[in-house]
């Protein structure tokens, strides 16, 4: 049997090894520890980083993959996407369930293990930020029905919304998140730059940002769209482009986004 008999109880505990000490790993470590799971080890290439997180969750800190406890129930790889294959190759053979937390990495990267899957908390994470973790959707995938059931059970301890999703579905969700979060945040940065040029504070945009975010929670973004591009107001659009003269990159982004909005409103 892969997991210990106590895992069949109504509430179970797991011995967990965390591989990574960054933003996602830090939040997962805290919420798993709070749920009474045992974090055995925290791995990081930088031992100081491993030690900081390990101290929070009463775990051992390690900086060598060969130091991993091979008797754990669950191994969570929460590392950079482009480092995943290398880390997997260097890990010792383990019988426990090995999962990663990435949105755009296929579950198959872990196929050298007997039991593997994905535990993907869908949120943007910063180590120091306070998050209500039980509101964060968790997407799971696994190589067997039994492993998927275990991850669903674990996910339901941590979040109110847990669902199974294939690697292709998670990839699409991750692309969507890049548009809805990462690109949007970069737009904030460009807006901040424009305001700085005019000697105005970014805080002036706060009410607008809040209302825009609240609006798309109530209606489709296609319905919520406003602005000169949605009206195809070429006079205002050209005025803005003229004001951005000398800021070629920002001007080009404005033009591309404007053209896209006009096209989607046709």
pLDDT, tens only, 236-248: 999 999 999 989 9
Whether residue 167 has pLDDT greater than 80: yes
Which pTM was predicted? 0.81
| Number of Cβ atoms within 10 Å of the Cβ of 92 | 10
Tokens representing 69 are: 């406890």
Whether residue 11 has pLDDT greater than 70: no
| Helix (DSSP H) and strand (DSSP E) numbers for the chain | 10, 8
14-57 per-position pLDDT tens digit: 999 999 998 889 989 999 999 999 999 999 999 999 999 999 99
Residue 136 contacts residue 162 (beta carbons within 8 Å)? no
Whether residue 161 has pLDDT greater than 70: yes
Residue 215 burial by Cβ neighbours in a 10 Å radius (0-12, 13-18, 19+)? middle
* Residue 112, SS3 per DSSP: coil
Strands (E) across the chain are located at 15-19, 38-43, 60-62, 74-77, 97-100, 116-121, 138-142, 162-164
Residue 126 burial by Cβ neighbours in a 10 Å radius (0-12, 13-18, 19+)? exposed
197-224 per-position pLDDT tens digit: 899 999 999 999 999 999 999 999 999 8
Residue 106 contacts residue 130 (beta carbons within 8 Å)? no
62-106 per-position pLDDT tens digit: 999 999 999 999 999 999 888 999 999 999 999 899 999 998 899
DSSP states along 39-70: EEEEE-SSHHHHHHHHHHTT-EEES-GGGS-T
Residues of the chain with pLDDT > 70: what percent? 94
How confident is residue 129, by pLDDT bands cut at 50, 70 and 90? low
What are 74's strand-pairing partners? 16, 97
Sole residue written with tokens 């009474």 = 36
Lowest mean pLDDT among 5-14, 74-83, 255-264: 5-14
């Amino acid at each position: 049997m892969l997991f210990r008999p106590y895992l069949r109880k109504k509430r179970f505990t797991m011995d967990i090894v965390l591989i990574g000490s960054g933003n996602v790993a830090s939040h997962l470590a805290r919420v798993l520890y709070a749920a009474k799971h045992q974090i055995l080890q925290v791995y990081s290439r930088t031992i100081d980083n491993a030690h900081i997180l390990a101290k929070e969750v009463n775990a051992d800190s390690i900086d060598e993959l060969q130091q991993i406890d091979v008797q754990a129930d669950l191994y969570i790889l929460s590392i950079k996407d482009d480092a995943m294959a290398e880390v997997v190759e260097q890990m010792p053979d383990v019988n426990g369930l090995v999962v990663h937390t990435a949105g755009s990495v296929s579950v198959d990267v872990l196929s050298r293990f007997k039991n593997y899957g994905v535990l993907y908390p869908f949120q943007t994470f910063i180590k120091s930020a306070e998050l209500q973790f039980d509101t964060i959707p968790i997407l799971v995938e696994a190589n067997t029905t039994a492993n998927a059931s275990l991850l669903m059970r674990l996910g339901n301890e941590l979040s109110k919304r847990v669902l199974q999703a294939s690697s292709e579905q998670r990839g699409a969700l991750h692309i969507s998140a890049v548009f809805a979060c990462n690109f949007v945040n970069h737009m904030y940065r460009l807006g901040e730059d424009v305001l700085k040029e005019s000697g105005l504070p970014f805080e002036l945009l706060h009410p607008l940002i809040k209302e825009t975010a609240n609006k798309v929670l109530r209606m489709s973004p296609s319905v919520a769209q406003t602005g000169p591009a949605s009206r195809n107001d070429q006079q205002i659009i050209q005025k803005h482009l003229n004001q951005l003269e000398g800021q070629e990159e920002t001007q080009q982004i404005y033009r591309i986004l404007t053209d896209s909005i006009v096209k989607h409103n046709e």
